[in-house]
Amino acid sequence: MAPSANCPTCRAALQLTNHDTFDSWVCPNGHGLAATLSELYERAQEDEIHAVWALAKASWVDHEPTEGKPCPMCQRLMVSISVGTDADEVDEGQPGDGPDTGEVPVDVCVVDQVIWFDVAELELLPADLPDPQPTAEQEAALSAIRQQFGSDYEDADESPAGFTDLLYNRVVHSPKAASAVNPRARADA
């Protein structure tokens, strides 16, 4: 039986949901939702995600929480932080970073990389901005990669299995590569 994710407020089993490209676990009683750090890249601006993670890790390093909400996944207590929000995707303090225009309180499990959003907190994070088109220099670099890797690169891009599956198959069929990824793997296996 797979472990369940539970609402940190009411302990109800969270329901895995998908909205476009954003997957989250939602409380059936309306208390909020949980999302992984990596999944937030589908929904929120990168500078806020970087800030959430940096603040959570720093808070965790200072001291593991002794009070707060339990993680929906592992039940450890999450760190409670507030992250500033702005209209740009430039990391805090970097050239081009605009002034903070709001703040979002969130709870973060550093161990599972899970963020809990109480009702309406996720909507306070600015939506992800579209990625800019590659520059001529970046296009040239991509072209060089395509030439170097040839059909492997094109096949991965068009394969229904995807690049990750193709890479996995290469590693699985290469004992030396498997041992590089997992030092406990036997090179002669």
**Which residues, including other chains, have CB under 8 Å from residue 126's CB and lie 6 or more apart?**
44, 45, 48, 85, 86, 87
| Selection from 145, 31, 126, 144 nearest residue 83 by Cα | 126
- How distant, in Å, are the alpha carbons of 11, 48, 80, 122, 157 from that of 118? 14, 17, 12, 8, 38
DSSP SS3 for 17: strand
Residue 178 has a pLDDT of: 52
Neighbour order of strands in the sheet with 32-36: 15-19, 22-26, 32-36, 114-118, 102-109, 79-85
Residue 62 has a pLDDT of: 76
| Selection from 3, 4, 51, 60 nearest residue 28 by Cα | 4
Mean pLDDT of the chain: 84
Q: What is the mean pLDDT of residues 33-42?
A: 94
Q: What is the mean pLDDT of residues 33-41?
A: 94
| Selection from 38, 37, 45, 58 nearest residue 98 by Cα | 45
Strands (E), 58-101: 79-85
Q: What is the mean pLDDT of residues 156-184?
A: 60
| pLDDT single digits (tens) 102-136 | 999 999 999 999 999 999 999 999 998 887 888 89
Task: Residue 143: count other Cβ atoms within 10 Å of its Cβ.
Answer: 10
Q: Domain extents for the chain?
A: 15-124, 136-181
Residue 131 has a pLDDT of: 79
Looking at per-residue pLDDT, the higher value among 181 and 8 belongs to 8
Eight-state DSSP code of residue 175: H
